[in-house]
A and B are shown apart, each in its own frame.
Chain A
Amino acid sequence: MGFNPWTFLLEVINFLILVWILGRFLYRPVAAVIEERRRAIASSLNEAAAQVARSEALERQYAERLSAWEQEKRLAREQWLADLNVEKTRLMDAFRQGLEAERQQADILAQRRLSAQQSDLEQQSLELGGRFAARLLERVAGPELEARLLDLFIDDLSQVPEERWEAVTAQGGDGGGRARLMSAFPLGEQQRADLQQALSAQLGHPVACDFITDPGLIAGLRFELGPLLLHANLHDELEFFRLAE
């Protein structure tokens, strides 16, 4: 239990040496490794934080770009819809105009077709009317009717324009030519005399006439003298009526 100064002194030296040993070979290397690892961890954490910050920035950038894309897409879609509506309106207008033109053309064609049909019907009606009138008049025609027409012919001679008579005179019809007078029924002597008298009075000189019977005239007369042609018979009247249109 005694105190030994040599042991005390050696223990002091030993412990100081031990402090140096542990400081040199244990504490410093291990602390350096710990510190290096701590720095590496801190560096990794900083790098991770930087990467997180970069990723967040990229995420924000992506979100902003996505939003811009959405906005651009919406604007493009609106523009496209507007253009589509404009094009649709233009095409519809063009279609309506074309349709209207087609309709007008169809109306014109229909009107033309209707007019043609109406004209055909009128023509057919006239032909039917003419044939009906011809048959009717053929049945009622006779010397009496012809006498009546002869009277009308004589009465109407005064209504023939003067220039027509002058044209007959200018072409040598003044006594040199012969008149042709066709009738559906043979004329009596009195009728022929009345007729020659009326013609002579109208021309101012006697006229020689050839009296020809033509049953195709149905009833009445046809007078030819040079360029002058006068009708007073049912056939020519009906033909004139038929061809009037």
Chain B
Amino acid sequence: MDDLQPGARTLFTLGPVAIADSIVYTWLIMAAFWIGSWAVSRGLRQMPGPVQVVFEGIVGACENAVRELLPRDYLRVTPFVLSLWLYLGVANLLSLIPGFETPTRDLSVTSALAVLVYFSVHWFGIRSQGWRAYLKHYLSPNPILLPFHLLSEITRTVALAVRLFGNMMSMDMIALLLLLIAGLFVPVPILMLHIVEGLVQAYIFGTLALIYIASGIQSQLSEPEQENGSS
């Protein structure tokens, strides 16, 4: 019944640091991406093979999505958004492999990702226009709206973390409960739904992160630039 406990489990400790299973899964995913990326980048050719075509399709689709929103800063933002999509897509589907758990069922993991998105919005905004111009938008159109700006950023960050955690944790719980109650084959449709749900949640999380970053960068643009087609 220990599997029925939501959240992560501590696998071992390194001194005062408790290493949860979600961290280990994350390391596995990182290792897989590292090896895969290294293998792909070694064999890149102008006439691509099937594997290169798949990776070029993924990278190209991500880059185009970012470029549509940030035609000026897409080179800087694309690695971050690409990492979110790829990591969350693989992490959300990891529980389909027997013996593995999805790291995003851990609120600490989704919170870490949401906080990274929160700071990335400020990071890219400040790098794009500087401190003054970026912080100025908190006082526009009226300084009275400053608390609402801050509250909005906190709530959307929390929403990011809780949405992903809640969906993935609930899907895992439902699949596990159905497996325990109904038998081996009944959860299969639920697992198929799990695939869709995992990919959709990854897409939503990355898209929201991209939108937040784009809004943070575009909010720094001057009014003439906005009028000249910064939409």
Contacts and interface: CB of A to CB of B under 8 A. Distances in A.
Interface stretch (B79-87, B135-143, B145-153): B79-87
A22 B8 contact: no
Interface stretch (B34-42, B174-182, B188-196): B34-42
Contact of A12 (B18, B36, B80, B116): B116
Per DSSP, chain B at the interface is helix
Given A14-B26, A29-B44, A31-B59, A8 B111 contact: yes
B22 interface: yes
B63 interface: yes
A5 B80 CA distance: 23
A59 interface: no
B111 A27 contact: no
A6 B17 contact: yes
Interface string B24-59: 001101100110111011001110100010011001
B80 A7 contact: no
A27 B76 CA distance: 11
A22 B33 contact: yes
A24 to B, nearest CB: 8
Given A12-B116, A14-B30, A19 B59 contact: no
B106 interface: yes
Interface residues of A, number: 32
Given A6-B18, A18-B33, A33-B46, A25 B41 contact: yes
Interface stretch (A34-42, A66-74, A78-86, A192-200): A34-42
B113 A15 contact: yes
B27 A14 contact: yes
Nearest to B31: A21
B209 to A, nearest CB: 12
B56 A18 contact: no
B133 interface: no
B204 interface: no
Contacts, number: 130
Given A25-B38, A30-B56, A37-B46, A19 B79 contact: yes
Given A12-B115, A18-B30, A3 B107 contact: yes
Contact of A27 (B5, B29, B59, B106): B59
A11 to B, nearest CB: 4
- Interface size class on chain B is 35 or more
Given A2-B7, A30-B40, A15 B56 contact: no
B198 to A, nearest CB: 18
B60 interface: yes
B88 to A, nearest CB: 10
Nearest to B79: A23
Contacts of A37: 46
B83 A22 contact: yes
A11 B79 contact: no
Given A8-B108, A27-B78, A36 B115 contact: no
A94 B196 CA distance: 107
A33 B33 CA distance: 19
A21 B86 CA distance: 12
Given A19-B83, A33-B44, A11 B109 contact: yes
Interface string A24-60: 0111011101101100100000000000000000000
Contacts of A34: 56, 59-60, 63
B20 interface: yes
Nearest to B120: A19
B82 A7 contact: no
Contacts of B79: 19, 22-23, 27
B71 interface: no
Pairs A-B, 4 closest by C-beta atoms: A23-B79, A25-B37, A11-B112, A7-B108
18 contacts: A1-B5, A8-B109, A11-B26, A11-B113, A14-B26, A14-B30, A15-B87, A15-B113, A19-B80, A19-B83, A22-B79, A22-B83, A23-B79, A26-B41, A29-B41, A30-B59, A33-B48, A34-B59
Interface of A: 1-12, 14-19, 21-23, 25-27, 29-31, 33-34, 36-37, 40
Interface of B: 5-8, 10, 16-20, 22-23, 26-27, 29-30, 33-34, 36-38, 40-41, 44-46, 48, 52, 55-56, 59-60, 63, 78-80, 82-83, 86-87, 103, 106-109, 111-113, 115-116, 169
